[in-house]
Structure 1
């Protein structure tokens, strides 16, 4: 057997092993995609739940902000009334004769 004839079977075996070993089957790819899709579905479910909680928290925060603004307005009104009463009390004390 000549040296070139010895190389032909080695090249054929090498080419065959590379050709068979590098391809994934459709079934394997589908299994991997199904696993990834399940994980994505789980993440989407948790994201939707988290989004719902965030929306509820936002609504509560907006309501609390509106109540805080109302309370601030009421305090401002009461502060003016208290200041007015304080001034009247000071004036009354100054007018009262000392013993």
Structure 2
């Protein structure tokens, strides 16, 4: 019942060869798979560019708002100084004269 090596060798070579060759992908298959991936990448790239443009616009608006806030703060400081000066004048006028 033992099979001789001469009988088993050709069968083993055929089995190993068929398994090894069936694992190779054709150029067409690879190109199809890459095309699908490239389409996804292109779609993501388009979305990324849109998001980047929105982010740059938001940054510009935030910088503009920051500049305006600084100007407003400087104006408030000036007004506070004026109000303080007016208050001091009023207090001096209210003081009883001896």
Q: Distance in 2 between matches of 1:10 and 1:95?
A: 123
In structure 2, stretches of 5+ residues that fail to align are none
Q: Distance in 2 between matches of 1:52 and 1:79?
A: 40
- Structure 2 matches for 1:1-99, cutoff 5 A? 3-95=4-96
Deviation at 1:16, TM superposition (A): 2.1
Residue-pair matches, total? 95
Q: Distance in 2 between matches of 1:29 and 1:95?
A: 99
In structure 1, stretches of 5+ residues that fail to align are none
TM-score (norm 2): 0.88
Deviation at 1:8, TM superposition (A): 2.3
TM-score (norm 1): 0.87
Q: Name the SS for the 1:23 alignment partner.
A: coil
Q: Where has structure 1 moved over 4 Å in runs of 4 or more?
A: none
Q: Residue deviations 1:23-70, cap 9 Å, x none?
A: 011111011101110111011011100000000000000100110111
Output the aligned Cα RMSD. Answer: 1.5
